[in-house]
Amino acid sequence: MGGTPLFIKKGSGSKITDEDGNEFIDFCCSWGPLILGHAHPAVNQAIVETAANGTSFGAPTRLENELAEMILKHNRFIEKIRFVSSGTEAVMSAIRLARGYTGRDKILKFEGCYHGHVDALLVKAGSGLVTFGESTTAGIPAAFAEQTLVVPLNDPEKLDATLAQHGHDIACIIIEPIPANNGLLLQAEDFLRSLREKCTTHGILLIFDEVISGFRVGFEGAAGLYGIAPDIVTYGKIIGGGMPVGAYGASAEIMSKVSPDGPVYQAGTLSGNPVAMAAGRATLNELLQPGFYENLNLKTDSFVRKLEAYCSSMQYEVSFPRIGSIFWIAFSKNTIRSAEQIEAGSMGHFKVLHHELLNRNVYLGPSGYEVGFVSSAHSDADLDFAAQMICDAMDLVFA
């Protein structure tokens, strides 16, 4: 975005304060984990009380079992879950599990989907890679990248052609069922449903990377929202309530391949550590309260409708795709479902918007390819103020 990066001193509820004492309404929310806002009292209390009894043991604890039980009880798609320390680790482990389970080497991903900094998945990826204009990273041997097949989102023909040629060699297809790292590329439900069928036909495992969408669009994530059953699911962000956690889960049969039950090795010194488990449990406990998602989604909807109403009355070339409490500012009126539909030139508009909003005490994640998140801590007054500021800033973007 240019300029000097903000250095954040503290956060509380919907707001963050930088080292210069400026306060902002925050729509980045640490890139998604903070669905309850910053420093939520119940989460903080769980962290502090747990840390007082030690931060890591390298041995089983009650807390990791309680968090696992809470998740499995309310999730129809997985029977066992393993905790790791980041979304990247969850994806890396899920890919290894899929390869170990199927005995196949190739994997298939979609252009623009980001799955953390797993070597094999940093090919045509979103997030920081697309922001910095180089969607494939240096530092990965060609032999690794060769095992990764990449097809565009929302393109059944290209997918079919790739499966016809390589279907029997592919261990897994990994997708963000709600792609949210290269803009918000909402997929047609039919496309996701047919992906499930094609995986079954070819004996390929379907991995839903729900690091963003898990616990965000509903407790069961996108799988629950669409009613589509993946074979393996990866989680991160919200599941740790702002502490470093990731997780992957699947049927008991698939998970039985993970060490020490099975031959697929995976371990981590700090995995399942009690402080992170306590933060996750306190967070998920709030999400399970009746009406939590309904309220959050309604609030987001009414916020985004205000932006839409104003921008369409002014005939500005902008739209606001959204799902649940995730929204994106797309400088286009077209429905955008794949990475190549985004015009790189539109990022110039985002840069102006971002700076004008900083001047007006509203913080969006610093990239036009990233989405915004609304938390339960955002009050109606916060959202009214932010909507007004965004509309004012749009006048300057389109001046």
Q: By the 8 A CB rule, do 210 and 234 touch?
A: yes
Residue 183: CB minimum distance to ligand PMP, A: 13
Nearest approach, Cβ of residue 86 and ligand PMP (Å):
4
* Tokens of residue 265, six digits: 């090795």
* Residue 209 among the catalytic residues: yes
Strand order across the 23-26 sheet:
8-12, 15-18, 23-26, 362-363
Instruction: Give the residue with the Cβ less far from ligand PMP, 127 or 187.
Output: 127
Residue (99 or 216) nearer to ligand PMP, CB: 216
Q: Which residue, 91 or 258, has its beta carbon nearer to ligand PMP?
A: 91
Catalytic residue (choose from 15, 106, 109, 209) = 209
Q: How far apart are the first and last CA of the chain?
A: 20
Strand-pair partners of 16:
11, 24
Residue closest to ligand PMP (Cβ)? 87
Min dist CB 338 to ligand PMP, Å, is 16
C-alpha–C-alpha distance, residues 152 and 373, integer Å:
25
160 is catalytic: no
Sequence-separated contacts (24+) of 299-303 with Cβ below 8 Å = 299/325, 299/374, 299/378, 299/380, 299/383, 300/324, 300/325, 300/326, 300/327, 300/374, 302/383, 303/327, 303/374, 303/378, 303/383, 303/386, 303/387
- Residue 276 C-alpha from the chain's centroid: 18
For ligand PMP, which is the closer residue by CB, 31 or 77?
31
Rounded alpha-carbon distances, angstroms, from residue 212 to 3, 115, 181: 28, 10, 9
Among 101, 109, 114, 248, the active-site one is 114
Name the DSSP letter for residue 262: S
For ligand PMP, give the closer residue by CB, 50 or 367. 367
Nearest distance from residue 392's CB to ligand PMP, in Å? 30
164 CB burial (10 A radius; 0-12, 13-18, 19+):
exposed
CB of 207 to ligand PMP, least distance (A): 10
Q: Which is nearer to ligand PMP, 75 or 367 (CB)?
A: 367
Cα→Cα distances 187→143, 153, 191, 321, 376, Å: 31, 8, 7, 11, 26
Q: How far is the CB of 240 from ligand PMP (least distance, A)?
A: 9
DSSP 153-174: TT-HHHHHHHHHHHGGGEEEEE
Residues within the interface to ligand PMP (CB under 6 A)? 31, 86-88, 91, 114-116, 127, 176, 181, 209, 211-212, 236, 246
Q: Alpha-carbon distance 217 to 335, whole Å?
A: 20
Other residues' Cβ atoms within 10 Å of the Cβ of residue 103:
7
Give me the amino acid identity at 33: P
Smallest separation (angstroms) from ligand PMP to the CB of 33: 9
CB 147 within 8 Å of CB 106 = yes
Nearer to ligand PMP, 47 or 90 (CB): 90
* Residue keyed to tokens 């839903």: 208
> Is 395 one of the catalytic residues?
no
CA dihedral sign of residues 113, 216, 333, 127: negative
Q: Alpha-carbon torsion 292, 295, 299, 305, what sign?
A: positive
Minimum distance, C-beta of residue 333 to ligand PMP, in the bound complex (Å): 26
- One of 15, 109, 124, 237 is an active-site residue; which one? 237
For ligand PMP, the closer CB: 75 or 181: 181
Residues with catalytic annotation? 114, 209, 237
